[in-house]
Amino acid sequence: MHETTLTSLGGRRCVRQAIASAIEKDSIIAGVYNNGGNRANSSLSAKVFGYNHDQKEFS
């Protein structure tokens, strides 16, 4: 029997992109964080030296 694991899914770019686009990030920010956050476009915080405001959102 073939078992689907996170590792096997993580290796496929199209699957990662589909999962990333299926997550309603704005709804999570509104519902969980009570509109107290922003969508991430980097792994760095906007307060960290080297943060680039012009970087595209990653998925």
Contact 39, 25 (CB under 8 A): yes
DSSP percent split of the chain into helix, strand, coil, nearest 5: 35, 0, 65
What phi, psi does 23 have (nearest 5°)? -80, 125
C-alpha span between 4 and 36 (Å, rounded) = 35
Task: For the chain, give every domain's residue range.
Answer: 7-37
20's tokens = 């990333």
Q: Residue 35: pLDDT above 80?
A: yes
Whether pTM > 0.85 for this model: the answer is no
More confident residue, 15 or 24: 24
pLDDT score, position 7: 61
